[in-house]
A and B are shown apart, each in its own frame.
Chain A
Amino acid sequence: DADVTQTPRNRITKTGKRIMLECSQTKGHDRMYWYRQDPGLGLRLIYYSFDVKDINKGEISDGYSVSRQAQAKFSLSLESAIPNQTALYFCATSDSGTGTYNEQFFGPGTRLTVL
């Protein structure tokens, strides 16, 4: 089984709808991240969480919110989806332990289309 899973893998929705993307991990890592990938723009950080009680905005948090329900679960919500949020979304984890150098472990991605 995959260490970092994302659901759904694909989603098509309409403008104005609320959408939740979910991420679960079995790696036991304390840190979790949400990224967005757009062609030519690379990966941009939306939110990150260093533990269950720690949530931080990333580079492009406007229009998004997150919830860290447990150490293993980190969900991303689009309160009112708009077409320019059409993108590939990745969840990632890392371990804060000494010697890990914050290597990122990525899920398979969720392709979101907002019509």
Chain B
Amino acid sequence: GNSVTQMEGPVTLSEEAFLTINCTYTATGYPSLFWYVQYPGEGLQLLLKATKADDKGSNKGFEATYRKETTSFHLEKGSVQVSDSAVYFCALSDLPGGSYIPTFGRGTSLIVHP
């Protein structure tokens, strides 16, 4: 079956530091990959996505590249802000023809200090 593994948190950084949150996946088909973000007290919302190999998703200064050869989709940001403090979830979903059931990682908490 499909699975997503992401690094455990919390990740604690100072403002303006570089961020990497690792995510690897296993899938039977050709999945689409997502990063969702959950701010305190809120539901998850889509941060970025990539739908095929070598695609780069980007939003709000965050980037992730779909690496089929390493089955990875690592999240990066060059300079984090206090407002980026949240929980980040890596996820996958099968492309048409698959079950479309999304699979989520366990989430990585990011804490950014001023």
Contacts and interface: CB of A to CB of B under 8 A. Distances in A.
Interface of A: 4, 31, 33, 40-43, 45, 48, 50, 58, 90, 92, 94, 96, 98, 101-109
Contacts, number: 57
B102 A104 contact: yes
Contact of B93 (A40, A43, A101): A101
Contact of A106 (B45, B94, B106): B45
Contacts of B43: 4, 90, 92, 106-109
Given A94-B100, A108-B42, 18 more contacts: A31-B100, A33-B102, A42-B106, A43-B89, A43-B104, A50-B100, A90-B43, A92-B43, A92-B44, A94-B102, A98-B96, A102-B32, A102-B100, A103-B34, A103-B49, A103-B93, A106-B44, A106-B45
A101 B102 CA distance: 10
Contacts of A101: 32, 49, 51, 93, 95
